[in-house]
Amino acid sequence: MANTLIQGATVVTAQETRAADVLIEGERIKEVRAGIPARAGDKVIDAKGMYVIPGGIDAHTHLDMPFGGTTSADDFESGTRAAAFGGTTSIVDFAIQARGTRMRDALDTWWKKAERKAAIDYGLHMIITDLGASGLEDMDDMVREGVASFKLFMAYPNVLMVDDTTIFKALSQTAKNGALVCMHAENGSIIDVIVARALAEGKTAPIYHALTRPPRAEAEAVHRAIAMAEIAGVPVYIVHLSSEDALKEVREARDRGVPAFAETCPQYLLLSQDELERPNFEGAKYVFTPPLRPKEHQPKLWEGLKNDHLQVVSTDHCPFCFKDQKILGKDDFTKIPNGGPGIENRLQLIHHHGVNLGKITLNRFVELTSTTPARIFGMYPKKGEIAPGSDADLVIWDANAPYTISVKTHHMKVDYSMFEGYEVLGNARMVLSRGEVIVDGQKFLGASGRGNYIKRAARGGAWK
Ligand code: URP
Ligand code: ZN
Ligand code: ZN
């Protein structure tokens, strides 16, 4: 492959912003400095007036995921293509261990879902539903395969929820194998009682999804998850944190020096519980867990991102079409498939509402959306960095490009956008994955199946 030289850019990393050229040799970055001369045969990309940032890393996606009798609308082909358009060059998706089966079966199933489809690189977390007799050995086996993180659910009794014994055993095993436990922290037992009461009272509309999952149920579970991790002497990562109450638990733990980490998502930063009251059942478009919160929570989450009480912004992309999937819960909000689309719009939204509106710096934007997920999930410095030796996963970012988010133009295979009509300033102009230009403006130049499985290292950033 010919060398590629990105000239005249402003290179932005988590650490610094500087004028520099970036020389790419094959799939890797060779050199980063001002004044690199182009040599004969080099492909030169003029990036004057543009930022070059490390490709986005979305550490929380659900492509081709079975849920509630249906399957998420994007598979690895459409989902990774949409991700690429938005400047995301790596994802970490979730394989799900079916109860009573081995984790390797789930890993094989998810590898099959991804191979020949993924257009960008992908890693996998493993969702543990059952430790059984061989679960702890299975965890070690997964770590050897590069599945360096596990998700456990404290919600969805009888489906995905595991008890505290399982959680504590899994956490304790990570002391030996260096993996990271990711917790879906909501007290599912309490929520189920509140849900049953609501249904008995005839409360079936989408808004009751939010009203039956109070922030205190999230905070309680976050508190318990962190306490269990502390007793086991290991780090823990809280996924899709949605509320001020839950954030306070993470902040207090971190203030005590406990290695607790957490992510939030654009929907919790920008949308509120009011969305679930949209007429004509449209509130169902915003049904996911944890639910959207009253808007007073939003500034607290932004402060959390700024002050490092929250470390990552991911999407929890889990799209279900309104017309034929969300509708399954027309008469009962508990039957609405839980999840929303977002894989394509994360960088646009966080750049505009975070950087442009002065809530976070440009470097923090890069840190939250790329560098820290790479570190925490064992991909750094191969991913999430612009330095010699790193993969040439790069985004040429036009900070002044106006863009209107809409279902009419997005590439996700879902019939609505949670951010319909949102106007942002800043978008990916060109996207490179391991040195290959896969998006150029509105053109997709990548190919399904070119994405590689990322074998992630244990004892990543959360352990340091
Ligand atoms: O509602 C959601 N978040 N769906 C995806 C599964 C999960 O809990 O992350
Ligand atoms: Zn979850
Ligand atoms: Zn999720």
- What is residue 391's predicted lDDT score, i.e. its pLDDT? 99
From 64, 240, 268, 286, mutation site for ligand 1 pocket: most ligand atoms within 8 A of C-beta: 240
pLDDT higher than threshold 80 for residue 152: yes
Written as six digits, the tokens of 244 are 């001020």
How far apart, in whole angstroms, are the C-alpha atoms of residue 317 and residue 311? Answer: 18
Q: Which residues pair with 32 in a beta bridge?
A: 22
How far apart, in whole angstroms, are the C-alpha atoms of residue 267 and residue 387? Answer: 32
Phi-psi region at 26: left, alpha or beta (left = phi > 0; alpha = psi -120 to 50)? left
How far apart, in whole angstroms, are the C-alpha atoms of residue 429 and residue 422? Answer: 19
Instruction: Please work out whether the CB of residue 288 comes within 6 Å of at least one atom of ligand 1.
Output: yes
Spatial CA neighbour of 456 closest among 403, 400, 379, 389: 379
Residue with the smallest CA separation from ligand 1 atom 5 is 339
Residue with the smallest CA separation from ligand 1 atom 4 is 339
Q: What is the dihedral angle through the alpha carbons of 75, 77, 79, 85, rounded to the nearest 10 degrees?
A: -170
Instruction: Please work out whether the CB of residue 208 comes within 6 Å of at least one atom of ligand 1.
Output: no
Ligand closest to CA 61: 3
Residue type, 441: G
CB 77 within 8 A of CB 109: no
Q: How confident is the model at residue 303 (pLDDT cuts 50, 70, 90)?
A: very high
Residue with the smallest CA separation from ligand 1 atom 8 is 289
Segment 267-277 shows an average pLDDT of 99
Q: Which residues pair with 263 in a beta bridge?
A: 312
Q: What pLDDT digit, counting tens, does each position of 307-322 carry?
A: 999 999 999 999 999 9
- Give, as residue ranges, everything with CB less than 5 Å from ion ligand 2: 184
The pairing of strands 423-433 and 436-440 is antiparallel
Q: What pLDDT digit, counting tens, does each position of 168-217 carry?
A: 999 999 999 999 999 999 999 999 999 999 999 999 999 999 999 999 99
Residue with the smallest CA separation from ligand 1 atom 7 is 289
CA 153–ligand 3 middle distance (angstroms)? 10
**What mean pLDDT value characterizes the chain?**
98
CA 365–ligand 2 middle distance (angstroms)? 23
Instruction: Please work out whether the CB of residue 13 comes within 6 Å of at least one atom of ligand 1.
Output: no
Three-state secondary-structure class, residue 377:
coil
Residue with the smallest CA separation from ligand 1 atom 1 is 288
Q: How confident is the model at residue 2 (pLDDT cuts 50, 70, 90)?
A: confident
Instruction: Please work out whether the CB of residue 339 comes within 6 Å of at least one atom of ligand 1.
Output: yes
Work out the percent of the chain whose per-residue pLDDT is above 90: 99
Spatial CA neighbour of 102 closest among 151, 137, 68: 137
CB 90 within 8 A of CB 59: no
- What is residue 1's predicted lDDT score, i.e. its pLDDT? 66
Q: What pLDDT digit, counting tens, does each position of 394-420 carry?
A: 999 999 999 999 999 999 999 999 999
Q: What pLDDT digit, counting tens, does each position of 82-120 carry?
A: 999 999 999 999 999 999 999 999 999 999 999 999 999
Instruction: Please work out whether the CB of residue 315 comes within 6 Å of at least one atom of ligand 1.
Output: no
Spatial CA neighbour of 332 closest among 415, 208, 151, 155: 208
The pairing of strands 70-71 and 443-444 is unpaired
Is residue 414 exposed (0-12), middle (13-18) or buried (19+ Cβ within 10 Å)?
A: buried
CB 381 within 8 A of CB 42: no
Q: What pLDDT digit, counting tens, does each position of 59-72 carry?
A: 999 999 999 899 99
Q: What is the dihedral angle through the alpha carbons of 405, 119, 57, 49, rounded to the nearest 10 degrees?
A: -60
